[in-house]
Amino acid sequence: MKIGVAVLAFLLVSVAVFAQAEDASVSGSDAPKDIFSSEQLAQMKAKEETFEFQAEVNRLMDILINSLYKDREIFLRELISNAADALDKARFLALTEKNYLGEGQQAELDIRIAFDKEARTITITDRGVGMTKQDLVNNLGVVAKSGTTDFLRKASNEKDALSLIGQFGVGFYSVYLVADRVTVASKHNDDPVQHIWQSAAQSTFTITEDPRGNTLLRGSEITLHLKPDAVEFLDENRIETLVTRYSQFINFPIYLLSTQEVEKEVPIDETEKAVDLDEKEEADVESEEGEEEDAEPKTKTVKETVTEWKRLNTAKAIWTRSPKDVEEQEYKDFYKTLAKDDNAEYLKYTHFSAEGDVSFKALLFIPKTADPQLYDKFYEKSTALKLYVRRVLISDEFDNFLPRYLNFVKGVVDSDDLPLNVNRETLAQSKVLKVIGKKLTRKVLEMLSQMAGSGKAEKVTKTEEGESEEEQPTHDDSTYLSFWNEYAKSIKLGVLDDRSNSKKLLSLLRFPTSKSDGKFLSLASYVERMKDNQKFIYYITGESIAAVEASPFLEQLKSRDLEVVYLVDPLDEYLSQSMPEFDGKKLMSIAKEGLKLPDDDRIKLREQKYKEEFKELVDWLKDIYGNKVEKVVVSSRATSNPCVLVSGQYGWSANMERIMKAQTLADPSKQAFMFPKKTLEINPRHPIIRELKAKIAEQPDEESLKDLANLMYESALLHSGFSLDDVPSFASRINRVVSLGLNVDPATPLAEEIEAEEIEEAKTEAEDSEDTEEVEVDEAPHKDEL
């Protein structure tokens, strides 16, 4: 059997690419030079013979069935889509032909699905336009021949917006994924006879008049004779799940013939009454005389199998309507359907349409409660968004449709003109997805900005990009804080990953501060409260708010009434390295060296004077500590503590060091270069430092002073958030200091152990003492009796 050039090219390349290649023309100076002269071309033209490409139909069908589709459950989506197209055509023709639909049952535009387990069949029926005998030959007998394409070509000059998804003419053949034989009965208004088309996916098909007569009135009935390994689809729940997944928003009602057992009260006939009466008389032989008889029952309860048409697609595609025409309750009901949870609630939504290179409509929601496994599945494919093409689900699994940090957003995106691959499971161009994803990202961030108070909602308007959206409340602190409590990590991950939107994302960040009393505030509000002479946004990282509140690094800033941002989430450590500034103000860690405070010039002059005064102590401490610290300096950072340890400006902070050491696959030997270079800053006004300075001037080699210096270092190490590497040495020093405090020589030997014989003697004496007490207690009553 021969097929045209377009069919073969379609299978090998794709319809779109082939069409572009056919239509492409090259002219002007850019045209390539032909390898033949004009005379040679004329000779060739005169003698050439034209042949048609040949194709083995069995092999062609094998490719379509086994290679085109990834999942065979897709057959039901394809058949429902074809039925919906036929119904759309019928509704379109009814606009110009008054009596086209007819009356009664014939006028009902719906799709009905039934299955028979014994016969192993599934039947899909629609009241669409149906097919004549010639249509059956042209549409089902020619592979890649799409009736929808022909219909659209004829109706191309009409203004009505048709939404017919079929365009390749191969969706029907997906039935052979599950069926070894297919029977199609169809009736068209232009054909007085109802015909039957049958094929087993081989090189032949048959068409005959339906001996049952005109049972359909109008439309098509497709019966699939399932393969033995496809009986899983002969299940009511399975079919309902597939329809709900792929076709729940089809414009037309979809019904499934449902079978169930119900209890029913039926009257008891005379024969049953006689039998029941005999049994009752036998049972009442031994009953007492005069006892009243119970009233005879007139009905009994029996189980009966009933069938009914159950509608499967009750949800409405509200995203296709204008936002101003949709009620708030409709959004709530739709979200419950989308989330498959009757108790699901959302914090905010955005409903808009976009026009341009790709036109689409979208309805996006931010769930009120985050999925408990949101961050456990962070690097898996997102299933929160559903992509529809003319209300038929194309995909609900994406890698990079939206950025990963927005994988909590649920919603639908629908387009009438997305370029699909032939199997309609994926988009033909990834560039299209990127364009849509970019617009969706911008709309989600605008929605969050409005919720956070950093943006304003506008009335329904057309923007420069052809987008329109609904009006919503602009700002609600409590709503955004609820969002922040659930999705703070997502926004922080966005700052780390999405450089192009970093400015918008930074405005969404919220942190507690030294003046917020535990409340979460924005960086913008911090900048508004900055002092006139303050040039930096000060922050501190730590394990918890309690830990940073007790940090010695806060002392100097609190004394100067300077606000400090608390970064107490593990992600904040990475975040602080990715946001060097906000609103033109640089961020500065108060736990690292190089801290700059207002009036820093006066501080430096004072520290210079102290530096000369404490030079001898600084040198002595540096010799004591050796490689433990990079340097020892005099500083005004601490106020009530004798000294603090700070990290190098470009190294890890103490908190970051703790996080990295806790990593499962961490290798300290390979990360040594990142461990912070520590600087010990001593407080020249503290009495311990001043006394130590005086002591080393008299006895610089005194061991007890070295112990005190090391103990002071280790105390600062812990207080500054670092961990001790040599715990045994620290414990020994503590014991020596305690000994000196108690006037005990640390070298005094331990007391001798108690010998075993002494323990036995003590035990015997204790037992004798207990026996004596018992005797005395027993004698007391006898004396009373005498």
Per DSSP, the three-state class of 774 is helix
Residue 754 CB contacts under 8 Å (≥ 6 apart), including other chains: none
Return the axis-axis angle of helices 687-698 and 615-625, rounded to nearest 10°. 80
SS3 content of the chain, % helix, strand, coil (to 5): 40, 20, 40
Q: How many CA atoms lie within 13 A of 119 on its CB side?
A: 10
- On the CB side of 305, CA atoms within 13 Å amount to 3
How far apart are alpha carbons 260 and 425 in whole angstroms? 34
CA-to-CA distance for 30 and 20, rounded, in angstroms?
18
The whole-angstrom separation of Cα 69 and Cα 387 is 18
Between the CA of residue 631 and those of 651, 697, 750, what are the distances in Å? 15, 21, 40
Q: What is the pLDDT of residues 204-230, one digit of tens each?
A: 788 888 888 899 999 999 999 999 999
DSSP-derived secondary structure letter, 475: B
CA 686 – CA 701 distance, rounded (Å):
22
pLDDT higher at 532 or 283: 532
Other CB atoms within 10 A of residue 12 CB: 10
Strand partners, 592: 647
Burial of 282 (0-12, 13-18, 19+ CB in 10 A): exposed
Helix (H) or strand (E) holding 448: helix 430-452
Cβ-contact 633, 679 below 8 angstroms: yes
As a whole number of angstroms, the distance between CA 65 and CA 200 comes to 12
Q: How many CB atoms lie within 10 A of CB 398?
A: 17
Q: Which residues contact 79 (CB under 8 A, 6 or more apart)?
A: 124, 171, 172, 174, 175, 222
pLDDT above 90: percentage of residues in the chain: 28
Note the pLDDT of residue 521: 92
Q: For 540-554, b where at least 16 C-beta lie within 10 A, e where not — what string?
A: bbbeeeeebeebbbb
Between the alpha carbon of residue 150 and those of residues 102, 122, 162, 250, the distances in Å are 24, 28, 13, 22
> What's the whole-number average pLDDT of the chain?
78
User: Shortest CA distance to 86 belongs to which of 124, 146, 130, 135?
Assistant: 130
Which pLDDT tens digit goes with each residue over 614-642? Answer: 999 999 999 999 888 889 999 888 888 89
The answer to whether 374 and 488 are in contact (CB under 8 A) is: no
What is the DSSP secondary-structure string of 112-168? EEEEETTTTEEEEEE-S----HHHIIIIISSTT--HHHHHHHHTTT--S-------S
pLDDT at residue 704 is higher than 80: yes
Inform me whether the pLDDT recorded for 485 exceeds 70.
yes
Q: Which residues pair with 681 in a beta bridge?
A: 633, 644
Q: Is-contact 360 413, C-beta < 8 A? A: yes
Rounded-to-integer distance, Cα 548 and Cα 208, Å? 85
Is the pLDDT at 484 greater than 80, yes or no? Answer: yes
Which of the pair, 542 or 420, is modelled with greater confidence? 542
CA–CA separation, 625 and 619 (whole Å): 10
Residue 58 in this model has a pLDDT that exceeds 60: no
3-class DSSP state for residue 656?
helix
How far apart, in whole angstroms, are the C-alpha atoms of residue 257 and residue 734?
A: 83
Nearest partner of 239 among 69, 83, 76, 127, judged by Cα: 76
Whether residue 419 is predicted with pLDDT greater than 90 in this model: the reply is no
b/e map 661-676, b = 16+ CB within 10 Å: eeeeeeeeeeeeeebb
Token representation of residue 494: 């966005």
User: Comparing 104-118, 133-147, 418-432, which segment has the lowest mean pLDDT?
Assistant: 418-432
Q: Is the pLDDT of residue 167 over 80?
A: no
d(CA 443, CA 364): 9
Longest Cα pair distance anywhere in the chain, in angstroms?
Answer: 155
Task: Please report the domains of the chain, with CATH numbers, ordered by start residue.
Answer: 1-22+37-55 (no CATH), 57-255 (3.30.565.10), 322-489 (3.30.230.80), 511-589 (3.40.50.11260), 600-741 (1.20.120.790)
Cβ pair 618, 688 in contact under 8 A: no
- At 148, the pLDDT band (50, 70, 90 cuts) reads very low
Beta bridge partners of 363: 351, 412
Residue 476 has pLDDT above 70, yes or no: no
CB-based contacts of 786: which residues, under 8 Å, 6+ apart? none
Q: Report pLDDT digits (tens) over 29-41.
A: 444 444 557 886 6
Which tens digits make up the pLDDT trace of 388-398? Answer: 887 888 888 87
Q: Which residues pair with 208 in a beta bridge?
A: 196
Residue 224's DSSP bridge partners are 122, 182
d(CA 166, CA 129): 15
